[in-house]
């Protein structure tokens, strides 16, 4: 990926992750998280990158899954999940993704990228009925 695009992603992701850490409201944290798939899509319009397409897909899915669950008051109240822990892990993964792009050497470190995307997938799964059940049983750790 061109250096300028990688730096753009690093800057935008760092800003969004920092704002997520500073925000107290869950909806605002989720708003800032939307930068991750939005910015990935913008860069993909200029240069195709398979890993960036994967970042776009995973972050968009995570955002949609959390958004659906938090917009439904019944689900929000009944899912046996600690939303603070969910958003803490989401914020940590967002910060890790920003750091991943800040370090040019990480561009080829797919193992680290996949670890971060795996953390995001766990967050997305945790807020489903089955995922929150597994979380309560102690099988899914956040």
pLDDT over threshold 70, residue 105: no
The pLDDT assigned to 78 comes to 75
Identify the residue whose tokens are 């995922």: 131
Whole-number Å distance between alpha carbons of 56 and 34: 10
Full-model pTM: 0.89
Query: What residues have CB less than 8 Å from 117, skipping those under 6 apart?
Result: 54, 55, 58
Write the pLDDT tens digit of every residue in 18-60: 999 999 888 899 999 999 999 999 999 999 999 999 999 999 9
Identify the residue whose tokens are 């439904």: 72
């Amino acid at each position: 990926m061109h250096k300028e695009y990688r730096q753009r992603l690093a800057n935008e992701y760092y800003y969004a992750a920092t704002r997520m850490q500073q925000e107290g409201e869950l909806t605002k944290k989720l708003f800032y998280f939307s930068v991750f798939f939005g910015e990935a899509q913008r860069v993909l319009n200029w240069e195709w990158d398979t890993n960036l397409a994967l970042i776009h897909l995973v972050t968009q899915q995570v955002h949609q899954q959390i958004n659906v669950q938090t917009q439904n008051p019944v689900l929000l109240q009944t899912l046996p999940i600690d939303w603070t822990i969910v958003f803490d892990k989401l914020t940590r993964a967002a910060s890790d993704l920003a750091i991943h792009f800040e370090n040019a050497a990480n561009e080829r470190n797919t193992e680290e990228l996949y670890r971060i995307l795996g953390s995001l997938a766990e967050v997305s799964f945790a807020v489903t009925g089955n995922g929150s059940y597994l979380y309560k049983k102690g099988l899914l750790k956040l």
